[in-house]
Amino acid sequence: MLGGCVSAWFVASLCRVTVEPTTIVALGACIWLIYTADHLWDAYRLNQPAHTVRHRFHQNHFRSMLVIFCLTALLGLAILFYLPRSVIQSGLFLLGGVVIYFLIFQLANLHQFIPKELSAALLYSLGIFLPVFAQVEYWQLHHTLFFGQYFFLALANLAIFSYYEYDSDRLDKTSSLATQYSASVAQSVAKLSLLSAMILLGVALLFFSPQSSDYFAQLIFMLMISVLAMVLFFSDLFRHKESYRWVADGVFLLPIIYLLFA
């Protein structure tokens, strides 16, 4: 959630768009609600104790999390009255995507046709770019570069989780890229996503002046790619106490460096 908020502020700064704090709070609430709804559903459908820490937590505290979920949803509805009209309009399109996501992957069981990691990465990227979509007048090349970089980083993040959690997801009968295909496929998708992000990084470094803040932003992207690659290639190190989740999700907090020093 915090990573999504920081990333939304980051891309808004890169795209020269002003974002109201209420928009960031609303985005953070939406990310948390989607994340929690997904885990609450998984916890509800499991007939045995979950094999992952996060699912076990939602099982053990199901009622409490459901109450917090409802209160957060009410907070999100209240914030709607303070959001710009353009943000609300763009958000409605994204809401449609979220509904389709849950219909496909949680209710209709059509995950065998579209890996959920692909759709989730796309929705996450669209979410953090929502303030940009709502306010930018002309979509330009550098906007596409930034969006592509975030999409491939998000996809790599989710593919890495799928790779690490193959055994627990298989035991819990949870659909993922790894259980749908194999752990090696999930690992390959993560590698290809990081490679794609690196290619876009190279294009961006040629595109921007070394003296510009956008060039500095690419150094942040380089750091994010490097950390995710480290998590992917040193799995023995990061399996301990699911530290891979903290590090791989923490990647999306790194743009704070840009917001503080650019």
Q: pLDDT by residue (tens digit) across 69-83?
A: 889 888 888 887 777
Q: Which two tokens stand for residue 261?
A: 């020093």
Residue 53 has pLDDT above 80, yes or no: no
Average pLDDT over every residue of 215-244: 91
Is 261 within the bounds of a domain?
no
Q: What is the DSSP string of the chain?
A: -HHHHHHHHHHHHHTT----HHHHHHHHHHHHHHHHHHHHHHHHH-SS--SSHHHHHHHHTHHHHHHHHHHHHHHHHHHGGGS-HHHHHHHHHHHHHHHHHHIIIIIS--TTTS-HHHHHHHHHHHHHTHHHHHH-SS--HHHHHHHHHHHHHHHHHHHHHHHHTHHHHHHTT---HHHHT-HHHHHHHHHHHHHHHHHHHHHHHHHS-TTSHHHHHHHHHHHHHHHHHHHHH-HHHH-GGGHHHHHHHHGGGTTHHHHHH-
Task: Identify the pLDDT of residue 50.
Answer: 65
Inside any domain, residue 121: yes
Domain assignment present for residue 230? The answer is yes
Please tell me the predicted confidence (pLDDT) of residue 151: 95
Q: In which domain, by residue range, is 73 found?
A: 2-256
Q: Given pLDDT bands bounded at 50, 70 and 90, which one contains residue 112?
A: low
Look at residue 176 and tell me if it is in a domain. Answer: yes
Cβ atoms 177, 248 nearer than 8 A:
no
End-to-end CA distance of the chain: 23
What pLDDT, on the 0 to 100 scale, is given for residue 189?
Answer: 95
**Are 25 and 146 in contact, with CB atoms under 8 Å apart?**
no
Decide if pLDDT at 98 tops 80.
no
Q: Dig out the tokens for 53 from the structure.
A: 């820490």
Instruction: Tell me whether residue 170 is in a domain.
Output: yes
**What radius of gyration do the chain's Cα atoms show?**
18
At 39, the amino acid letter reads H
Mean pLDDT within 181-187:
91
Tell me what pLDDT residue 108 has.
56
pLDDT, residue 221, reads 95
Which pTM was predicted?
A: 0.85
Which comes out higher in pLDDT, residue 135 or 107? Answer: 135
Give a yes or no: residue 262 inside a domain. no
Is 48 part of a structural domain of the chain? yes
Cα 178 to Cα 159: distance, rounded to the nearest angstrom = 8
Asked if the model's pLDDT at residue 107 lies above 70, the reply is no
pLDDT tens-place string over residues 21-52: 888 888 888 888 878 887 787 777 767 776 67
Per-residue model confidence (pLDDT) at position 110: 57
262 has pLDDT over 70: no
The mean of the pLDDT values for the chain is 83
Number of domains in the chain: 1
Tell me whether residue 169 is in a domain: yes
Q: Which residue has the tokens 């106490």?
A: 241
pLDDT of residue 113: 63
